Amino acid sequence: MSTEESNAKPLEYQTEQGEMSIIGFWVFLAAEIALFGTLFATYAVLFGRTADAPAPAELFEPGTVLIMTFILLTSSFTCGIAIHEMRRGSVKGVMTWLIITLALGLSFISLEIYEFIHYAHEGATLQSSAFWSAFFVLAGTHGVHVSLGIGWAILLLIQTAQRGITPITSRKIFIFGLYWHFLDVVWIFIFTGVYLIGMVL
Amino acid sequence: MQLDEFFVTGEPLIYAGMVAIVLVTSAIIFLLTYFKKWTWLWREWLTTVDHKKIGIMYILSALAMLFRGGADALMMRTQLAFPDMNFLNAQHYNEIFTTHGTVMIIFMAMPFLIGLMNIVVPQQIGARDFAFPFVNALSFWAFFFGAMLFNISFVIGGSPDAGWTSYTPLAGAAMSPGPGQNFYLMGLQLSGIGTLATGVNLMVTILKMRAPGMTLFKMPIFTWSSLITMFIIVFAFPILTVALALLTIDRIFGSQFFTLTGEGLPMMWANLFWMWGHPEVYIVILPAFGIFSEIIATFARKQLFGYSVMVWSIILIAGLSFLVWVHHFFTMGAGAFVNSVFSVSTMAIAIPTGVKIFNWLATLYKSKIQITVPMMWSLAFIPSFVIGGVTGVMLGMAAADYQFHNSYFLIAHFHYVLIAGTVFASFAGLIFWYPKMFGHRMNERIGKIAFWFFVIGFHVCFFPQYFLGLDGMPRRVFHIVPEWFNLNVISTVGAFGMGIGFAVFVYNIYYSYRYSERETTGDPWNARTLEWATPIPVPEYNFAVVPHVDSLDAFWAMKERGESPYDESKVEPIHMPNNTSQPFIMMGIFTLASFFLVFEWIWLALAGLIGGIVMMIIRSFDYDEGYHISSEEIIETERSARGL
């Protein structure tokens, strides 16, 4: 490969290690699909097994969850802009848009915690029945992923502030972007497969 | 918690185990101190990121686990040969068959094969290390500490006793209170995450780091089988991760996934477990097929017959491995249709496997076979594995399975495939690649003694078990009726034969270390693939000059053309990663957290978790970029290793 061609690649792909890290992360995301797939399957199998606890249709409401969905989808968009700014080489742009992404992520998590507490008050907890165990673990695993993502991005913000946009920091931010978009996709399945179906069935 | 609840008390065999642990640990500490080897241990091994050293540590740990699992097996066989002697009581027997199964599959078979892959695969593809050396070290320590956590259970807190399959509701909090099952869950979780990381790591290594010219269909067959195995790992291990996590949450935090209350579904555990568990069987057999293929081609002095068919049959087996899990519980009563579907898919696996058997035979056909010890293990594998495979098809017929299910027929079947397949391959591979690890071959004569003891012992041990099964002897019983006595005694004699074989094998390691001739070339077997192109001892960078590949069996082609894999004029500085203590410390902290969780000390576990996360943050800020080895140093190393 000539130097010109390799220069045409984005910064994060320019080193061999960067390219391998990104491919490795895609493989890891494949494993994550298997992980969430198992959780979704478990949820589907246990659907309706509510025992004495309330049925999902009694608790699920479009309001908060819809807001959460819009927040998370928007954060995916802002994350995309952050990557775009990174490609343009603007440290300030990356940081600004990453911080906006994080703020949206944090509000998503806060709303999710609020939702969970609300369900618990209504008598649906992790312990109440097989269905609610499956629900809390599925949605909770997604929530833990989002929280870890927030912590991770804070570390990347500090590193970007210290070092600017280098092949290494750009690779890290790009991989974080992949992760963040992936969580968005998972949430779309939770929103439709869990909440929307739960409201009508 | 009282101290006498913390330690297991009242069992003479376990007191003996405690004494043994204390003695062995003190001996190791004494020897390390006496010979002033602590810094050496830390610098050369505990902090290494070199795939070859990590591979050796994997194999040594696997041998230790084979010893532990084997000791369990011999205790069970002793009990069954003399059921009235009350050598083991019911509880102790339950614990021992549980740990035997878990240790052998998770902590022996997989690490042994992953160890061999660690050493061999990068060298076979002309690479200098794994794609992510740091992650590789992390994987090893996750496995190692997970294994230690599981193994400590029999003296601290009590062993798990619900079988290696850990079926619910038996394994749930209601019926198995206490730390035993938690040890199972956390030990497997830790090492499972390590395996998943290896899956990602080795897959990227094989896909991205092959020598120029090595297209996918010019890869050595062992590399192919490793690549496919990694695909299975990436898609199967997350299922185990989830299953273990759900049961952990059930047991510790009171959720209702697998419980009998709250409309939980205990049967779902069996499904989740085997959706991982059946692919797992192929995770431990496909690399074995790869090892045998390499050895048979080398000592038949021929190119492997039907190479691309071999590759496609591995791929087909891997695909089918995800579609057969229900055959482990036909008797659960899923209905005739479901059972029929899984029965057919199960029997279909015999087709690509049969293709492989015929390809090995065709490779041997009209060849001048060189009888070496690895070749003997490979030749013993073929007929033994066929017996295991054919009885597997018998078990796969759902209607007949209602008779065979959970009988010794099943026990005999899976030992025939796992020992004749995986264990023979591990021994064969270790002996075959031994010179690449330690610079000398294993003694041939002692190796043959070990081989005959082990192989004859194996057949004497497990062949009678088919008939015990047909006579109706169920698995997992500690006491038997008189009509099963005779065959059980024969089986036990065979088991001790295998024990002697293993002991001789281990003695051979010591003997060869002392007396074997040191290798002077990198290619002691006159072999075919690139791992033999590196000199012995293998330099840390493997290849001074990355070779160019234009055919299958690249090294063989090079030798035929009279080329040397080393060209001094092409040497350039090589970039290497630095050693690091982070993987060891990080996994140590996570293990501590897991240990606390086993005893359900939630706050301590949380503190440990935070400690582990702090280690991950430290790693994130670590911009260590490694170092370069200069051309002069490389030339000097190569000259002395190659005797130029």
- pLDDT tens figures, A159-177: 999 999 999 999 999 999 9
Q: Cβ of A38 under 8 Å from any chain B Cβ?
A: yes
Query: Residues of A with CB below 8 A from B243's CB?
Result: 38
Whether residue B389 is contained in a domain is answered as yes
Q: Please name the residues in contact with B135: beta carbons below 8 A apart, sequence gap of 6 or more.
A: B197, B200, B201
Name which of B401, B502, B388 is nearest B450 in CA terms.
B502
Whether residue B480 is contained in a domain is answered as yes
Q: What residues pair up with B156 in beta bridges, in sequence order?
A: B7
Whether residue A52 is contained in a domain is answered as no
> Residue B585 and residue B285: Cα distance in Å, rounded?
32
In this predicted structure, which of B15-24, B244-253, B419-428 has the lowest mean pLDDT?
A: B15-24
pLDDT at residue B504 is higher than 60: yes
Domain final residue, candidates B487, B517, B547: B517
Identify the residue whose tokens are 């059946």. B278
CA B178, distance to chain mean position in Å, is: 29
Query: What is the reported pLDDT for A2?
Result: 42
Q: Are B382 and B256 in a shared domain?
A: no
B6 vs A163, higher pLDDT: A163
- The angle at the Cα of B81, spanning B79 to B84, to the nearest 5 degrees, equals 65
Q: Are B391 and B474 in a shared domain?
A: yes
Query: Residues of B with CB below 8 A from A186's CB?
Result: none
Domain that holds residue A159: 3-46+58-200
> Residue A13 and residue B263: Cα distance in Å, rounded?
50
> Residue A105 and residue A99: Cα distance in Å, rounded?
10
Whether residue A21 is contained in a domain is answered as yes
Alpha carbon distances (Å) from B23 to B3, B27, B402: 21, 6, 48
Whether residue A105 is contained in a domain is answered as yes
> Residue B14 and residue B167: Cα distance in Å, rounded?
25
Work out the mean pLDDT of chain B and round it to a whole number: 94
- Model ipTM value: 0.95
pLDDT tens by residue, B547-585: 999 999 999 999 999 988 888 889 999 999 999 999 999
Chain B residue with minimum CA distance to A40: B242
Q: Are B258 and B340 in a shared domain?
A: no
Chain B residue with minimum CA distance to A137: B246
Domain that holds residue B187: 1-264
Query: Residues of B with CB below 8 A from A42's CB?
Result: 242, 246, 257, 268, 272
Give the closest of A37, A45, A136 to B268, CB-based: A45
pLDDT at residue B387 is higher than 90: yes
Question: Cβ contact (<8 Å) for A133 and B196?
Answer: no
- Tally of domains in chain A: 1
Residue A120 confidence class, pLDDT cut points 50, 70, 90:
very high
Whether residue A149 is contained in a domain is answered as yes
Whether residue A15 is contained in a domain is answered as yes
Whether residue B288 is contained in a domain is answered as no
Q: Cβ of B206 under 8 Å from any chain A Cβ?
A: no
- CATH number of the structural domain spanning residue B173: 1.20.210.10
Q: Are B245 and B390 in a shared domain?
A: no
Alpha carbon distances (Å) from B33 to B37, B38, B581: 6, 7, 20
- Maximum CA extent, chain A: 68
Q: Are B215 and B347 in a shared domain?
A: no
Q: Are B509 and B452 in a shared domain?
A: yes
Query: What is the reported pLDDT for B5?
Result: 73
pLDDT at residue B123 is higher than 90: yes
Query: What is the reported pLDDT for A7?
Result: 60
Question: Cβ contact (<8 Å) for B257 and A133?
Answer: yes
Query: What is the reported pLDDT for B644?
Result: 76
Whether residue B559 is contained in a domain is answered as no
pLDDT tens by residue, B592-641: 999 999 999 999 999 999 999 999 999 999 998 899 999 999 999 999 88
Q: Are B346 and B470 in a shared domain?
A: yes
Query: Residues of A with CB below 8 A from B255's CB?
Result: 126-127, 133, 136-137
- CATH number of the structural domain spanning residue A88: 1.20.120.80
Domain final residue, candidates B517, B537, B559: B517
Q: Are B246 and B315 in a shared domain?
A: no
Q: Are B225 and B180 in a shared domain?
A: yes
Q: Left, alpha or beta for A48 (phi > 0: left; psi -120 to 50: alpha)?
A: left
Instruction: Report which secondary-structure segment, H or E, holds B627.
Output: strand B627-629
Q: Cα distance from B36 to chain A (closest Cα, Å)?
A: 38
Residue B1 confidence class, pLDDT cut points 50, 70, 90:
low
3-class secondary-structure state, position B629: strand
Residue B108 confidence class, pLDDT cut points 50, 70, 90:
very high
Q: A16, A38, A129, A175: best mutation site toward chain B, by most B Cβ within 10 Å?
A: A38
Give the closest of A24, A35, A51 to B242, CB-based: A35
Q: Are B387 and B498 in a shared domain?
A: yes
Query: Residues of B with CB below 8 A from A126's CB?
Result: 249, 253-255
pLDDT, mean of residues B303-315: 96
Q: Please name the residues in contact with B70: beta carbons below 8 A apart, sequence gap of 6 or more.
A: B498, B499, B502
Whether residue A51 is contained in a domain is answered as no
pLDDT, mean of residues A46-57: 93
Domain final residue, candidates B517, B541, B560: B517
Chain B residue with minimum CA distance to A19: B208
Whether residue B618 is contained in a domain is answered as no
- Tally of domains in chain B: 2
Q: Cβ of B267 under 8 Å from any chain A Cβ?
A: no
pLDDT at residue B588 is higher than 50: yes
Give the closest of B239, B245, B263 to A49, CB-based: B263
CA B537, distance to chain mean position in Å, is: 25
Whether residue A70 is contained in a domain is answered as yes
pLDDT at residue A4 is higher than 80: no
**Sign, Cα dihedral of B557, B561, B562, B564:** negative
pLDDT tens by residue, B475-499: 999 999 999 999 999 999 999 999 9
**Mutual angle of helices B336-348 and B373-396, in 10-degree steps:** 160
Whether residue A144 is contained in a domain is answered as yes
pLDDT at residue B217 is higher than 70: yes
Percentage of chain B modeled with pLDDT above 70: 99
Q: Please name the residues in contact with B614: beta carbons below 8 A apart, sequence gap of 6 or more.
A: none
Q: Cβ of A99 under 8 Å from any chain B Cβ?
A: no
> Residue B190 and residue B197: Cα distance in Å, rounded?
11
Give the closest of B204, B620, B623 to A155, CB-based: B620
Query: Residues of A with CB below 8 A from B624's CB?
Result: none
